[in-house]
């Protein structure tokens, strides 16, 4: 049997025999990560993983966010009514301080959770819909119920670790 695997000679005394199983496929070599508590890390099934994926269309309005004093009730109602078919809503900023303008931007970001975006223009603050079908590229916000860091298990087959991590980094941009 050794000849089948290219072993034709032995160095030294062959009186000691080591029982083993010869491997020939890369899939025969399975490396499992050992956790700090000395248990073997197992891949979770889809039913075990809590899903944080939420459709942007289903995101509601966070009513708990305080409305800045520089916004009127009519303006807030108009912002609540914005959808993907609406034109951008303009909030005039004449007479508003820098802190008031910042409060409006923060209000839009926190209340609408990325569904609406705000940009300052020459005319004022433009609030527009940034949903799934929007062509404008807006920053994606981290969900409130997600932790600030992510632990994951990487399962790869016939790929270098650095190559696999490079692919993950590419898609996270």
What tens digit of pLDDT does each residue of 109-157 get?
A: 888 877 888 998 888 999 988 865 445 555 566 667 777 777 788 888 8
- Number of alpha carbons in the 13 Å side-chain half-sphere of residue 43: 7
pLDDT of residue 41: 84
Residue 47, pLDDT above cutoff 80: no
**Between these two residues, 82 and 18, which has the higher pLDDT value?**
82
Is residue 89 domain-resident?
yes
Given a cut of 60, whether residue 1 has pLDDT beyond it is no
- Weakest-pLDDT range from 7-16, 96-105, 127-136: 127-136
74 domain-assigned: yes
Residue 164 lies in a domain: no
Task: Note whether residue 23 is domain-resident.
Answer: no
Would 115 be classed as within a structural domain?
yes
| Number of structural domains the chain divides into | 1
What is the predicted pLDDT for the residue at 141? 63
Average pLDDT, the chain: 78
Tell me, yes or no, whether 97 lies in a domain: yes
- The answer to whether residue 59 scores a pLDDT higher than 80 is no
Is 16 inside any structural domain? no
What's the rounded Cα separation, in Å, for the pair 61 and 108? 10
In a domain, 112, yes or no: yes
The tokens describing 138, both together, are 């807006």
pLDDT band at 34 (very low <50, low <70, confident <90, very high): confident
Top mean pLDDT of 22-26, 50-54, 120-124, 131-135 is at 120-124
pLDDT score recorded for residue 52: 47
Q: Taking 60 as the threshold, does the pLDDT of residue 78 lie above it?
A: yes
Q: Give the pLDDT band of residue 57 (cuts 50, 70, 90).
A: very low
The proportion of the chain whose per-residue pLDDT surpasses 90, expressed as a percent, equals 14
Domain extent for 88 = 56-129
């Amino acid at each position: 049997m050794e000849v089948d695997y290219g072993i034709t000679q032995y160095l030294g005394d062959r009186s000691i025999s080591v029982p083993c199983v010869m491997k020939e496929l890369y899939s025969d070599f399975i490396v499992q990560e050992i956790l700090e508590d000395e248990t073997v890390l197992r891949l979770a099934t889809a039913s075990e993983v809590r899903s944080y994926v939420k459709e942007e269309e289903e995101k509601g309005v966070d009513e708990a966010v305080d409305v800045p004093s520089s916004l009127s009730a009519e303006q807030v109602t108009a912002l609540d009514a914005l959808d993907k078919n609406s034109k951008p809503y303009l909030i005039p900023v004449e007479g508003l301080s820098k802190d008031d303008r910042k409060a409006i931007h923060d209000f839009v970001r926190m209340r609408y959770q990325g569904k609406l975006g705000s940009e300052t223009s020459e005319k004022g603050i433009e609030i527009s819909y940034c949903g799934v079908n929007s062509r404008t590229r807006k920053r994606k916000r981290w969900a409130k119920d997600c932790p600030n860091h992510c632990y994951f298990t990487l399962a790869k087959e016939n790929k270098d670790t650095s190559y696999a991590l490079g692919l993950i980094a590419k898609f996270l941009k």
